[in-house]
C-alpha cells in the first residue's frame, strides 16, 4: 500500500484511516460567515461509496477474528441501504454470502446496487429506516433468518454493535483531528445508528472538551434514506445524548434543494443526508460568526436520482416519463 501514489493491493487497503483519510473540502460560495470556515468530509470517497464502509469493515473484521464467518457462513443485516452495500461488497470479495433486508421505501438505486455487489435481497413493508418490534419488519426478519439458518448467516446488527462506534473512534475522529490540526470547534453530523456521532464525539471531546457536536435531523415523516429523527432513535443502542451539544431540526424538503446548491455552487455532489447537515452547519455559522466546522457528507447523490425526481420534479421536465415527475407520486 502506498498512500502517496495511491496504489493498493486490494480494495480493503483503500479503507480510510489517519494516514489515508477521506478528503476535507472547504465550502466557498455558500458559506455566510467568512470567520467560520466549513469543511465537508467527503465520505463518498470510501471504496463502496459511503461512510458505512467504516462500520461495515470493523464489524466484519470482528466476526472474522472470532471465526463467525467463512466456510459458507456469511451475513444477514437489516439496512436502509448503505450498510448493506458496504457489507455486501466486502462479503462478496471475501467469498461470504450476504442477505440484506431492506424497507420497501429505500430508493430503487440502492436496491439495485445491493444486487450488483452480490447481496440476496428481502424487501419488506417497513418504515424508511428499520423499526424494531414490528413482526415482519426488517429487523425481525433479519433476526429470524439468523436464527433459522445459523449455518448460513450471522447478523452484525449495526444498531447494537460496539464495533460500529469503534470504527469512528479509530478512524473518522482521528482523521478530523489531524486534518484540522486541532482547530475544529464544531462537528456537524446526521443520525442513523449513531455510530458516527458517538465515536467521533467521544474521540474529539477527549482531545478538546469544548468542541461542540451538532446533530442535524430531518423533520418527522421525512424522506431522507439512512437518517433518523430523534423520535425514531429507540431502535439504536449507540445513541448517547450526553455526547451531543445541540440538535437542529431542518425541514427535509430543504435538504433536496441544498443538494442542487452544493452541486451547482461548490461542485460537491452530496446526497440529501450531507445536504441536510450542510443546512444545519450554515445556520450555526450564521449565528456564531466565528468557529471552524467539519460536516460529515455521508454519501453522494448518485443513489438518490429517483428521490431527487420525486422532490424536485422539474428536474425531469421533458426527459422523464410524466408519471415519474408527479409531485404526488408516493411510495
Ligand X SMILES: Cc1ncc(COP(=O)(O)O)c(C=O)c1O
Closest distance to ligand X from the beta carbon of 225 (Å): 6
Question: Which stretch in 134-142, 144-152, 187-195, 322-330 sits in contact with ligand X by CB under 6 A?
Answer: 187-195
Which of 204, 152, 158, 153 is closest to 55 using CA atoms? 158
Residues 297-316 that bind ligand X (CB under 6 A): 298-299
Q: Which is nearer to ligand X, 52 or 205 (CB)?
A: 52
Q: What is the CA angle 22-265-320, rounded to 5?
A: 95
Using CB under 6 A, pick the residue from 138, 157, 163, 193 that binds ligand X: 193
Lookup: cell for 207: 482531545
Q: What number of H helices and E strands is found in the chain?
A: 11, 10
Question: Which stretch in 33-41, 107-115, 194-202, 214-222 sits in contact with ligand X by CB under 6 A?
Answer: 194-202
Lookup: cell for 93: 470479495
Asked if 180 and 292 count as a contact pair (C-beta separation under 8 A), the reply is: yes
Residues 115-174 that bind ligand X (CB under 6 A): none
Partners of 102 in beta bridges: 123
- Answer yes or no whether residue 276 interacts with ligand X by CB under 6 A: no
CA dist 89 and 307 (Å) reads 23
Residue 209 phi/psi, 5° resolution?
Answer: -60, -15
Which of 80, 21, 25 is closest to 52 using CA atoms? 80
Closest distance to ligand X from the beta carbon of 123 (Å): 17
Closest distance to ligand X from the beta carbon of 131 (Å): 15
- Answer yes or no whether residue 227 interacts with ligand X by CB under 6 A: yes
Question: Which stretch in 189-197, 201-209, 243-251, 255-263 sits in contact with ligand X by CB under 6 A?
Answer: 189-197
Number of other CB atoms surrounding residue 131 within 10 Å: 17
- Answer yes or no whether residue 195 interacts with ligand X by CB under 6 A: yes
Residue number with the shortest CB distance to ligand X? 226
Strands laid side by side in the 120-124 sheet: 120-124, 98-103, 74-78, 153-154
Q: Which is nearer to ligand X, 76 or 190 (CB)?
A: 190
Site string for ligand X, 37-76 (x = CB under 6 A): ---------------x------------------------
> What residues contact 6, with CB distance under 8 A and at least 6 apart?
none
H helix or E strand, kind and range, residue 272: helix 272-288
Q: Which is nearer to ligand X, 31 or 46 (CB)?
A: 46
Site string for ligand X, 78-107 (x = CB under 6 A): ----xx------------------------
Which of 191, 198, 243 is closest to 217 using CA atoms? 191
Q: Which is nearer to ligand X, 164 or 180 (CB)?
A: 164
Closest distance to ligand X from the beta carbon of 190 (Å): 4
Which sequence positions are flagged as catalytic? 52, 273
- Answer yes or no whether residue 196 interacts with ligand X by CB under 6 A: yes
Using CB under 6 A, pick the residue from 226, 280, 291, 293 that binds ligand X: 226
- Answer yes or no whether residue 176 interacts with ligand X by CB under 6 A: no
> What residues contact 318, with CB distance under 8 A and at least 6 apart?
none
Closest distance to ligand X from the beta carbon of 183 (Å): 24
Burial of 168 (0-12, 13-18, 19+ CB in 10 A): buried
Q: Which residues bind ligand X (CB under 6 A)?
A: 52, 82-83, 190-197, 226-227, 271, 273, 298-299
Amino acid at each position: 500500500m502506498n498512500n502517496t501514489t495511491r496504489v493498493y493491493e486490494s480494495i480493503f487497503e483503500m479503507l480510510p484511516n489517519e494516514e489515508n483519510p477521506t478528503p476535507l473540502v472547504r465550502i466557498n460560495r455558500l458559506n455566510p460567515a467568512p470567520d467560520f470556515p466549513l469543511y465537508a468530509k467527503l465520505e463518498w470517497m470510501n471504496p463502496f461509496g459511503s461512510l458505512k464502509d467504516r462500520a461495515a469493515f470493523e464489524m466484519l473484521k470482528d466476526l472474522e477474528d472470532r471465526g463467525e464467518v467463512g466456510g459458507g457462513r456469511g451475513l444477514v443485516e437489516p439496512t436502509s441501504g448503505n450498510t448493506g452495500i458496504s457489507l455486501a461488497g466486502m462479503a462478496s470479495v471475501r467469498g461470504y454470502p450476504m442477505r440484506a433486508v431492506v424497507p420497501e421505501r429505500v430508493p430503487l438505486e440502492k436496491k439495485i446496487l445491493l444486487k450488483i455487489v452480490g447481496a440476496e435481497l428481502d424487501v419488506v413493508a417497513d418504515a424508511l429506516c428499520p423499526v424494531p418490534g414490528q413482526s415482519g419488519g426488517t429487523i425481525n426478519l433479519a433476526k429470524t433468518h439468523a436464527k433459522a439458518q445459523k449455518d448460513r448467516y450471522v447478523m452484525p446488527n449495526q444498531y447494537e454493535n460496539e464495533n460500529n462506534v469503534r470504527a469512528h473512534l479509530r478512524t473518522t475522529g482521528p482523521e478530523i483531528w489531524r486534518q484540522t490540526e486541532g482547530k475544529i470547534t464544531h462537528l456537524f453530523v446526521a443520525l442513523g445508528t449513531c455510530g458516527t456521532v458517538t465515536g467521533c464525539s467521544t474521540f474529539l471531546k477527549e482531545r478538546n472538551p469544548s468542541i461542540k457536536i451538532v446533530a442535524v435531523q430531518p423533520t418527522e415523516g421525512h424522506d431522507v434514506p439512512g437518517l433518523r429523527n430523534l423520535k425514531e432513535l429507540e431502535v439504536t443502542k449507540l445513541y448517547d445524548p450526553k455526547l451531543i451539544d445541540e440538535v437542529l431540526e431542518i425541514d427535509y424538503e430543504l435538504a433536496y434543494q441544498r443538494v442542487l446548491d452544493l452541486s451547482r455552487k461548490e461542485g460537491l455532489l452530496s446526497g440529501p443526508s450531507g445536504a441536510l447537515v450542510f443546512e444545519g452547519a450554515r445556520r450555526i455559522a450564521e449565528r456564531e460568526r466565528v468557529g471552524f466546522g467539519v460536516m460529515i457528507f455521508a454519501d453522494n447523490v448518485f443513489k438518490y436520482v429517483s428521490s431527487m425526481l420525486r422532490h424536485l420534479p422539474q428536474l425531469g421536465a421533458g426527459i422523464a416519463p410524466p408519471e415519474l415527475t408527479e409531485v404526488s407520486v408516493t411510495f
